[in-house]
Amino acid sequence: MVEALKKNGKISRKGPVVLVIMDGVGFGKYKEGDAVAAAMTKHLDKLYEKYPWTKLKAHGLAVGLPSDADMGNSEVGHNAMGCGRVFAQGAALVSQSINSGKMFEGETWKNLVANVKKTGGTLHFIGLLSDGNVHSHIDHLKAMIREAKKEGVRKVRVHALLDGRDVGEMSALEYFDPFEEFLRSLNDDTFDARIASGGGRMVITMDRYNANWDMVRKGWETHVLGEGRQFASAHEAIETLRNETGAIDQDLPPFVIAENGKPVGTIEDGDSVILFNFRGDRALEITKAFEADTLTEFDRKRHPKVEYAGMMEYDGDLHVPRQYLVSPPSIDRVMAEYLCATGVRQFSISETQKFGHVTYFFNGNRTGKFDDKLEEYVEIPSDIVPFEQRPWMKCAEIADRVIKEVESGKWDFIKLNFPNGDMVGHTGVFEAVVCSMEAMDLQIGRIWDAVSAAGGIMVVTADHGNADDMYEHAKDGSVKTKADGEPKSKTSHSLNPVPCIICDDNYNGEYSKTLKEGLGISSIATTCMTLLGYVPPEDYDPSIVTLN
What's the pTM value of the predicted model, to 2 decimals?
Answer: 0.78
Phi, psi of 145 (to 5 degrees): -70, -40
Q: Are residues 41 and 54 in the same domain?
A: yes
**What digits encode the pLDDT tens for the residues 475-507?**
899 999 988 999 999 988 899 999 999 999 999
Confidence of residue 88 (pLDDT cuts 50, 70, 90): confident
Mean pLDDT of the 167-176 span: 96
In a domain, residue 492? The reply is no
Instruction: For residue 330, give the 3-state DSSP assignment.
Output: coil
Q: Are residues 357 and 212 in the same domain?
A: no
Higher pLDDT, 397 or 328: 397
Mean pLDDT of the 172-201 span: 98
Alpha-carbon Rg of the chain, whole angstroms?
24
Helix pair angle (395-408, 430-453), 10° resolution: 10
Given a cut of 80, whether residue 316 has pLDDT beyond it is no
State the CATH number of the domain containing residue 54: 3.40.720.10
Q: Are residues 316 and 375 in the same domain?
A: no
Helices (H) and strands (E) counted in the chain, each on its own, are: 17, 16
Nearest to 11 by CA among 497, 445, 502: 502
Given a cut of 70, whether residue 317 has pLDDT beyond it is no
In a domain, residue 480? The reply is no
**What digits encode the pLDDT tens for the residues 106-145?**
999 999 999 999 999 999 999 999 999 989 999 999 999 9
Torsion region of 455: left, alpha or beta (phi above 0 gives left; psi -120 to 50 gives alpha) = left
In order, the DSSP letters of 18-33 are EEEEETT----S-STT
Query: Would you state the pLDDT for residue 231?
Result: 98
Higher pLDDT, 367 or 324: 324
Query: Would you state the pLDDT for residue 69?
Result: 82
Nearest to 232 by CA among 257, 253, 255, 254: 257
Query: Would you state the pLDDT for residue 367?
Result: 87
In a domain, residue 305? The reply is yes
Phi, psi of 188 (to 5 degrees): -155, -165
**What digits encode the pLDDT tens for the residues 56-68?**
999 999 998 878 8
> Which stretch of 67-81, 213-227, 490-504 has the lowest confidence by average pLDDT?
67-81
In a domain, residue 424? The reply is yes
Q: Are residues 310 and 337 in the same domain?
A: no
**What digits encode the pLDDT tens for the residues 441-485?**
999 999 999 999 999 999 999 999 999 999 999 989 999 998 899
Instruction: In whole angstroms, give the CA distance from residue 532 to residue 413.
Output: 8
Task: Give kind and range of the element (H or E) at residue 124.
Answer: strand 123-128
Mean pLDDT of the 374-402 span: 97
The share of the chain scoring above pLDDT 90, in percent, equals 90
Q: Where would I find the beta strands (DSSP E) of 335-455?
A: 346-351, 375-380, 413-418
Q: Name the DSSP letter for residue 14.
A: S
Instruction: In whole angstroms, give the CA distance from residue 543 to residue 520.
Output: 10
Q: Are residues 273 and 230 in the same domain?
A: yes
Confidence of residue 328 (pLDDT cuts 50, 70, 90): confident
Q: How many domains does the chain have?
A: 2
Q: Are residues 205 and 158 in the same domain?
A: yes
Q: Are residues 153 and 278 in the same domain?
A: yes
**Position 312: which residue type?**
M
**What digits encode the pLDDT tens for the residues 226-245?**
999 999 999 999 999 999 99
Q: Are residues 340 and 367 in the same domain?
A: yes
Instruction: For residue 347, give the 3-state DSSP assignment.
Output: strand
Q: Are residues 115 and 263 in the same domain?
A: yes
Q: Are residues 283 and 193 in the same domain?
A: yes
Which of residues 308, 326, 344 is at a domain's end? 326
Mean pLDDT of the 319-326 span: 94
In a domain, residue 484? The reply is no
Residue 9 burial by Cβ neighbours in a 10 Å radius (0-12, 13-18, 19+): exposed
Average pLDDT, the chain: 96
Residue numbers of the domain that contains 63: 17-88+330-457+500-531
Q: Are residues 265 and 161 in the same domain?
A: yes
Which of residues 326, 356, 384 is at a domain's end? 326
Spatial contact of 28 and 468, defined as CB atoms under 8 Å apart: yes
Q: Is 478 a catalytic residue?
A: no
**What digits encode the pLDDT tens for the residues 262-274?**
999 999 999 999 9
Given a cut of 90, whether residue 52 has pLDDT beyond it is yes
Instruction: For residue 175, give the 3-state DSSP assignment.
Output: helix
The share of the chain scoring above pLDDT 70, in percent, equals 100
Confidence of residue 336 (pLDDT cuts 50, 70, 90): very high
Spatial contact of 91 and 137, defined as CB atoms under 8 Å apart: yes
Helix pair angle (42-50, 430-453), 10° resolution: 50
Q: Which residues does residue 326 pair with via DSSP β-bridges, in sequence order?
A: 312
Q: Name the DSSP letter for residue 483.
A: T
Confidence of residue 281 (pLDDT cuts 50, 70, 90): confident
Which of residues 281, 306, 326 is at a domain's end? 326
Phi, psi of 65 (to 5 degrees): -90, 165
Out of 74, 130, 272, 382, the active site residue is: 74
Mean pLDDT of the 329-342 span: 95
Q: Are residues 132 and 69 in the same domain?
A: no
Non-local CB neighbours of 208 within 8 Å, separated by 6+ positions: 281, 282, 284, 285, 353, 356
Given a cut of 80, whether residue 201 has pLDDT beyond it is yes
In a domain, residue 346? The reply is yes
Instruction: For residue 473, give the 3-state DSSP assignment.
Output: strand
State the CATH number of the domain containing residue 303: 3.40.1450.10
Query: Would you state the pLDDT for residue 355?
Result: 96
CA distances from 153 to 118, 150, 305, 311, 507 (A): 10, 8, 19, 19, 66
In a domain, residue 148? The reply is yes
Helix pair angle (213-223, 284-291), 10° resolution: 60
The angle at the Cα of 200, spanning 196 to 243, to the nearest 5 degrees, equals 95
In a domain, residue 4? The reply is no
Helix pair angle (138-150, 90-100), 10° resolution: 30
